[in-house]
Every structure is written in C-alpha cells, then in structure tokens.
Amino acid sequence: MTAPDPPPGSAGTSPAPVRAAEYLQVDRTAMIVDALRPVSLALAVLFAALTPFHLLTLSRSAGLQVAILAGASAVLLGCLWLAMGSRYGPYLQARAPQVGAAIAAVAVVNTLNHVAAVGQPWPTANVMAAVIGIGAVLSVRSYAIGLIALADVGWVVIAAQNGFGDDWQQSAAALTAGTVLAGVLHVVRYRTVSRLEEAKRQLAAVAVTDHLTGLNNRRGLLMAGQH
C-alpha cells in the first residue's frame, strides 16, 4: 500500500507566505476602492450645488462657462456613483487607481476652468486645495505627479494670458507652497503604507512558518494545499 503524496510545500518550499503577501499587496488599491463611492457622491453633490451658485454670483459669461462644466461634472460623477453600486462595480473597482485619477482630473479641470473664466487669481485657492488633495489621497505616484503638473502648468498658462501681475505672483507663491505640501503628504503617505505592507508580510510569514526550521507549519501546509 503506497503512502499518500505529501502535501505541497512539505519539501521545504514556502508558497504559503508568498500567497499571503500577494493578498496584502492590494492594500493600496483597497484604500482607493473604499473611498471611490463616497468621494464621487460628495463631489457630485458639491458640483451640483455650485452650478446655480456660479450662475448667481459670477458675471453672465463667466458664470455660464463655469456652471456648464460643473453641471456636467455633477452628472458624470453621479453616474459613476450609481455604476459603482451596480453590476459594473467590480469592473470599476478592479481599475480603482485609474478611476480615482479620473475623479481627481475632473476636480482639477473644474478649478482651472473657474480661474480662466473669471480671469482673476482669487479662485487659485480652489486649485491649491485640489493639488493638496491629490497629493494626500492618490497612492499611484505617476498619477499624482501628472495631475499636480496639470494643475500647476494649466494655472501658469492662464496667469500668463492675464498679464501675470502682482496679484497673480502672490497667488503663484501660494500655489507653489501648496504643491510642496502635496509632495510632502504624498511621500509620507506612500512610506507609511509601504511600511504597513512590509509589517503585514512579515506577520503573514511568521504565522505560517516554523521558527526553528524555517519550513511551513501546520497552518502553512493547509494553506498551501488549498492552491
């Protein structure tokens, strides 16, 4: 009577810790997924409220320009919020970093449109808020850098078209400070999440590995046998 084949991983390999680490690597995406629906809903409500506000407070041409984009953004983000709760939700969640970057891009374009429409530097505070938010929230560095660059370069182009006077120069200093703060926040968040992921990987490895032999323990063998 032949003995049964040993379970996978008993020959000294340790696939279980690797499997556990693979699950832990979704932490960054999971953070974005958790925020997508509430953020899209909050921005949709905000842009919907700003649409009549701009029509009432800005000049006719500027108010119309800003309100049209704000209204369209409210509809777009509202549809995204609904889609996230529908059968398309898993598809969008699988692309959470890209969807998050698209939401941030909508916010940036609206703030730049506001500055361009009024032709004055006072809405720069909105651009700065968007830049800081991007640096603090987006976890994918390439997306964060690209969107912050879009906001800064777009603002500089608008300022140049309006003469770049003293008021614009003061606003430029404030936007520069906001960009630096966004960079600091992004680095701090990135390092914090990276250290958390590394700590979880180590804990996962300890949980399935015998500390004397370095081989899979009983739990590790059971986990390995499931794959």
pLDDT tens-digit series, residues 112-125: 999 999 999 999 99
For the chain, percent of residues with pLDDT exceeding 90: 58
Whether residue 170 is contained in a domain is answered as yes
Q: Is residue 6 part of a domain?
A: no
Q: Domain limits at 84? A: 26-221
Q: Please report which confidence band the pLDDT of residue 28 belongs to, taking 50, 70 and 90 as the band edges.
A: low
Say if 10 falls within a structural domain.
no
Task: Note whether residue 9 is domain-resident.
Answer: no
The answer to whether position 11 is within a domain reads no
Helix axes 166-207, 15-24, angle to 10 degrees: 150
Return the pLDDT at 73: 97
User: What's this model's pTM, rounded to 2 decimal places?
Assistant: 0.77
What is the average pLDDT value for the chain, to the nearest integer? Answer: 84
Q: Does residue 137 form part of some domain?
A: yes
Assess if residue 129 is contained within a domain: yes
DSSP state, 137?
Answer: H
118-122, 154-158, 191-195, 212-216: the lowest-pLDDT one? 212-216
- Structural domain includes residue 227: no
Answer left, alpha or beta for residue 14, where phi above 0 means left and psi between -120 and 50 means alpha.
beta
Overall number of domains in the chain: 1
Give 150-175 pLDDT, tens digit per residue.
999 999 999 999 999 899 999 999 99
